[in-house]
Amino acid sequence: MKLALAALLACAVTLGACHAAQPDDKAFGERVRAYLLAHPEVIQEAVDRLQAKATADEEAAQRQAKADLPRFRQAIERDPRDFAANPAGKITVTEFYDYRCPHCINAAPKVVALIRANPDIRFVFKEMPIFGPTSEHAARAALAVKKSGGDYVGAYEALMAARPLDIETIDRIARAKGAAAADLKTVPAVDLQLGQTSDLFNKLNLGGTPAFIVGDEIVYGEDMEALATAIAKTRAGG
């Protein structure tokens, strides 16, 4: 539907450009309408071309992101400001996520199970709030739990499961998991961290959450089967 609307908009823009040169507005409009009614396949052709271009652009962006992984490896895997579960694990998995993202919420129990069942997986949590102020507050609260040495994975799990996720609930969960009340306020250093994570997310053209990175592989969305395959491939390769 979005592509169809975009195609129609493109047609409208093109026709508008032609329309500017027409002295008779009504006659021109009638001719355009008659042509489209007689040749509706033109609209489908525009939609098909737009779809093909969008697919090609997305594939090119994903290839570029994969090529850029070595350049950003340190920021992806070894930023000391991020929490890492199983810190001695030999395989590193990084997740970019938002606590209000439905797909992140669906993936969260599987992420926690993965961490608990695989001590050789070092799991890096990248707070990536994209759904507004409430998501940003949740990210700050989780980082406050990390600062205090509290139960970060427990906070992640609880924040993902909370309904509704509002400021009061976020603060209650964070305090229960060990965050100091003073750290739940806006802190410039935390805002800097979130901003730099956002920059990294955009440089890698990840597009949405969740996004997982394992070695030289990027897994888009809550595709846990693809994530398991990427982990197995990395484990097999040593």
Q: What is the pLDDT of residues 199-235, one digit of tens each?
A: 999 999 999 999 999 999 999 999 999 999 999 999 9
- Cα(70)–Cα(50) distance, integer angstroms: 32
Choice between 170 and 57, residue whose per-residue pLDDT is larger: 170
Q: Which residues pair with 85 in a beta bridge?
A: 123
Q: What is the pLDDT of residues 109-153, one digit of tens each?
A: 999 999 999 999 999 999 999 999 999 999 999 999 999 999 999
Radius of gyration (Cα) for the chain, nearest Å? 23
Q: Sign of dihedral through CA atoms 128, 131, 132, 137?
A: negative
Which stretches of 64-216 are assigned E, i.e. beta strand? 83-85, 91-97, 121-127, 211-214
- Cα(101)–Cα(130) distance, integer angstroms: 8
Average pLDDT over residues 36-46: 79
pTM of structure: 0.78
- Cα(54)–Cα(43) distance, integer angstroms: 16
- Cα(211)–Cα(9) distance, integer angstroms: 31
Of the chain, the percentage scoring pLDDT greater than 90 comes to: 69
- Say which residue the tokens 């001695």 belong to: 88
pLDDT at residue 9, rounded to an integer: 47
pLDDT at residue 48, rounded to an integer: 77
- Cα(100)–Cα(160) distance, integer angstroms: 7
pLDDT range class, residue 2, cuts 50, 70, 90:
very low
- Say which residue the tokens 């071309």 belong to: 49
Domains and CATH numbers, the chain: 2-63 (no CATH), 78-236 (3.40.30.10)
C-alpha dist (Å) from residue 157 to 73, 85, 192, 218, 221: 26, 13, 24, 23, 18
- Cα(146)–Cα(62) distance, integer angstroms: 32
Per-residue pLDDT for 168 more than 70?
yes
Which stretches of 182-232 are assigned E, i.e. beta strand? 211-214, 217-220
- Cα(16)–Cα(80) distance, integer angstroms: 54
- Cα(232)–Cα(225) distance, integer angstroms: 11
- Cα(233)–Cα(215) distance, integer angstroms: 9
pLDDT at residue 38, rounded to an integer: 84
pLDDT at residue 50, rounded to an integer: 76
pLDDT, the chain, mean? 88
